[in-house]
Structure 1
């Protein structure tokens, strides 16, 4: 056989699951396989670390196809028709092929869309009032063009964020379906699921509740005489994109699969909906905000591989100011690069047939279908929202997510790990903390509580004109002291304190004496467990003999904690420390010390 016909890796013998497990078990040296290697997601699904030909997979049907005409959206806030038109034309010149106009009040369609080629550019509209009148003008203006896009009146999103369902919106939807009947590529009904994920829900909940709300709308429109086929042909779904890359890919695939099942129950075999994916609010930060660019990139990748029709990437600085020309341009360039240079959306979907992706998709679909049926059994979407079942289920997941973030088990760069210590943040930009209303959904950043803690530091700096200094006093075993100093640097840096680089001393006695006399407000002892056993108590006593005001911490998990606390240790920082609880305690003592010096 010629080399060109030789199968890839044919020189290597296949490895069975049994052989792989034997090797892994040996390498783990007694550690628990499930705890170390099995990923437990908050959807209630466990993901195995390895898949091979021995694993049986069930490939979902109707998972969608990679969009060959992927829409790269940009949001345009319309103050006046002329100003909105200018921004839209600029976006098109910058390579954007889809505009989402946010309308407040009546505007001239001709003035808004003048100079925009509707054969090439997709135009969509977010409009809360006057949708019928606007759409009449729109279809009159579009005439025989291939109008593409959607209109979103907020029929679902307004309900879940305010708690009040506007029945008039159903009448509006009926009229919009009639008005756009000659434009099959323009969708008159938008069902939003972004509010679920952005309020802390998991992917299973986002899928299930979105489909529950769809059934609710279908029934409402049927009562008004709209044919079910017309409803499904007029649907645009707007879903958020989270940070769990592979799970998000699978989420969109599972959603398409379950949508087909719901349609089939209504006797609809073929339909033409669209899915617009939007980067989430939940995952964004205002500290080290440029990191949002990386988050947006992976989010866009997972959405495109999940077979969406359009992607809306928010500017990285949107969470704390009006996006600049630069940040808007960069956001649009992300999808352009993925589509034109990385060939996302230009080839057959590369994730199809992947054992991992197929299994995750199947498991998410099964879980989402189970939850969907449970909500329908209890009376459906409206009943479940009115009695706060949906809100409570999301709140349970949100609290679990926030706990994992606070414990740093879910790392978020620039938020709870790897803070940018060179950065200064305006106190007015920082949140005062999350205040959730149990009756409605409130889209929010996951970082609000950590921002509130950072705000305390910035307020302290404003009040005292002093940014607290943290000294990392290390001695003893070289490897361990450096590792623990690096950990403490990262951990405490989240607070906004001025954390200095590790300062090494020849002995514990010298470290205690010098750090007690330094100008630092917080001192962290950094060494090995053996060194702590031998010298930590004496270090603390020597330190406290010189200084009783400073916060004294230890990096690690000593066994004799009671003895160390009695000697004068304020606390420890280690892998099990809760960043909010620990840093709040540090702030409290530093505040007391600095304010006493002012008197």
Structure 2
């Protein structure tokens, strides 16, 4: 055979595609094989999981699942923008590293910014404290409000300290001002102007979110109509004077942190955005002027593919809404800021929060976030230190430079699973949005308590799943570490801060002309314009004085039931807190003795289960290799001096062991609580009659049982 003939034969023997070597398998064949491995357990029960959005997550998706989806033909940068609002996605414009600097004073925020900007930070993201967001000077606020959630801002001196030595022309802002923008904006604009920065060079977001603040606080500093009037004034001024600044915030953090499903959170955000579009139109602004001025901000949680899909769905739905308002394609492009979830973060085993934040950050990046805050691992405890800031900030850099995510445009695009989930989440969010609209819009729905009730129901479902450990939180309700040595955390001394801020206010007022300030505030009361605000700021007016003047002679402010802030781990953390306090009080940890019956193979599965079960409540577990007799087990249990004894063995062993062992223990120590690991259905009443107080098993409510035991044994009140 010639060389040419050999080469031809070899080439013809190689298949063109790898999959050509295998016989194609249909979904029906795959499912039949999967069901065979389940050995009679229903396919839907074991392999299909239901989310809190009522979406059924399938174990595998195929082309038929997305065959009829209308958005599949879209391209990045083109309506409906499901793949991205930018043609090249993050390739030409990376996501902004917008780490929150949540310190209570302007000096501390400035110091952190100066340290972090040369090390990867690209946006000055400054949360404001509760007093500032409500338009209250710190000396007039309750101490708990000052520094709560962010920086206290009240005077022009505060704004000067915030901007000291910062190159404002090169640093975009991300500041949510509360229900009103003008007081905060006036202070910051005046300070920046002193540093030579004209307003037309401002970048980023300096925006109010009246409905978001109403949902979070339950009230506003003014009527909603007055808030909208001032928001329109700020937006109109920025269109002319600060063309690169977004002025309207739609934040869904409050809904997420109250336990909402993705569909509920998105529905509330859409309804809020629609309310702002309508309000601005009523005040003479066009949708094509307003929509580009809007900044959406949402949290991304733990369910990776759902979270990727939700950002894609949000772009698509907002484009649909703006198009319905006759907005052009430019106006249909949503601007998305994302923060990793506060709901998912824990106070115990805190370094696990780094791992949680990593997964959430990847979902945000793959979903197409324009800017991103990655949670500091100690966020649930208090203020971040330099180390926790560095770890969170460097995660951005790793995702960009080592993982090369900035080179990818909609990386999950075309995935059968992600495309199907994008469509399903969009449907859920749209349905909840329409329900809010049927209630008269977001403000009316909040007044009626409709979103609050729906979110409370979802939150209760979440807590029930966590309590039963169907939803696992590592280090909390599963695999807790009772020997954990927690790092030092810095928390705010609100009383000390309140006193210091009150002194700052006195100094500021002592160094101004009261007559000039009164005159400027009088002019502001009649004009309510940005120019009048700036004049009052330069005359020495404080944030509280500006807010009171802008909201004077107003109709009553709305009152609604606020949405409470929660974290998924908080119930089990309360158990751990109680157990730790008991340990500090008594010198010993509350304990459970395991009465393991038989050889290791006989009791190990249930003794391991019981160990994790009780440790989740902060109980020390006294384990052993097993006992050969009831008498031996009873003697060891009594000698251990534990208030709780748990019997661990097999269902077959229990009839001969449980009554006798329970009797032996309770005869000597009647106050001992005896628990059985397992739930032998046919003998429950028999064992209860024999003295068994509780049963622990896979379907048990772990939290309820542990809380009950803590109260019974004096661990918790």
Return the offset for 1:355: 0.4
Report the Cα distance in structure 1 between the residues aligned to 2:608 and 2:294, rounded to whole angstroms.
51
- After superposition, the C-alpha distances for 1:105-151 in whole angstroms (9 at most, x for unaligned) are 23466653454445654322233461341464377544387643211
TM-score, with normalisation over the residues of structure 1?
A: 0.91
The equivalent of 1:67 in structure 2 is: 90
Q: Is the 2:597–2:629 contact (alpha carbons within 8 Å) kept by the matching residues of 1?
A: yes
Shift of 1:508: 4.1
Cα deviation code 1:394-419 (max 9, x no counterpart): 11111111111111111111221111
Deviation at residue 232 of structure 1 after TM alignment:
0.5
- The alpha carbon displacement at 1:4 in A equals 9.3
Higher relative contact order (CA 8 A, sep 6+): 2
Moved more, 97-106 or 177-186: 177-186
Aligned 1:87-236 pairs, distance under 5 A:
87-103=112-128, 104-107=153-156, 112-118=162-168, 120-128=170-178, 130-134=183-187, 136-137=189-190, 140=193, 141-143=196-198, 147-165=202-220, 166=222, 167=224, 168-181=226-239, 183-236=242-295
Aligned 8 A contact 1:407 1:578 in 2: yes
Moved more, 382-391 or 74-83: 74-83
Aligned in 2, Cα 1:382/1:550: closer, same or farther, shift over 3 Å?
same
Name whichever structure is richer in helix by fraction: 2
For residue 188 of structure 1, give the secondary structure of its aligned residue in structure 2: strand
Give the equivalent residue in structure 2 for 1:564. Answer: 687
Contact 1:551-1:589 at 8 Å conserved across structures: no
Distance 1:88 1:179, change over 3 A: farther
- 2:6 alignment partner in structure 1: none
2:83 and 2:413 in contact (8 A); partners too: no
Query: Tell me, which stretches of 5 or more residues in structure 1 are unaligned?
Result: 431-436
Q: Distance in 2 between matches of 1:469 and 1:245?
A: 38
Bigger mean CA offset, 580-589 vs 230-239: 580-589
Q: Tell me how large the CA RMSD over aligned residues is.
A: 2.8
Shift of 1:526: 1.5
Q: Per-residue displacement from partner, 1:7-30 (whole Å, max 9, x unpaired)?
A: 243322221011012112222222
1: CA distance between counterparts of 2:164 and 2:42?
A: 64
Preserved contact between residue 318 and residue 334 of structure 2 (Cα < 8 Å): no
Question: What is the CA–CA distance in structure 2 between the aligned matches of 1:162 and 1:318, rounded to whole Å?
Answer: 21
Q: 1:555·1:573 contact (CA, 8 Å) conserved in 2?
A: yes
Aligned to 1:584: 707
Change (3 A) 1:392 1:310: same
Helix, strand or coil for the counterpart of 1:75? coil
1:443 maps to 2:565: yes
| Contact 2:110 2:162 (8 Å CA) reproduced | yes
Distance 1:480 1:576, change over 3 A: farther
Q: Which moved more, 1:66-75 or 1:288-297?
A: 66-75
SS in 2 for 1:345: helix
Work out whether residues 187 and 273 of structure 1, in 8 Å CA contact, stay in contact via their aligned partners in 2.
no
Q: Rg bigger for which structure?
A: 2
Task: Decide which of 28, 32, 35 is 1:25's aligned counterpart.
Answer: 35
2:139: which partner in 1? none
Count of residue correspondences: 587
Moved more, 146-155 or 20-29: 146-155
Unaligned runs of 5+ in 2: 1-10, 72-79, 129-152, 492-558
Give TM-score scaled by structure 2 length: 0.76
Deviates more, 1:580-589 or 1:102-111: 102-111
CA distance in structure 1 between the aligned counterparts of 2:16 and 2:191, rounded to whole angstroms: 59
1:242 to 301, 317, 327: 301
Judge which range, 319-328 or 206-215, deviates more.
319-328
**2:672 pairs with 1:550:** yes
1:479 to 594, 597, 601: 601
Task: Tell me the residue number matched to 1:433.
Answer: none
- The Cα offsets for residues 560-591 of structure 1, whole Å up to 9 and x where unpaired, read as 12222222222121101111221122223322
CA separation of 1:209/1:2 partners in 2, compared to 1, >3 Å: closer, same or farther?
Answer: farther
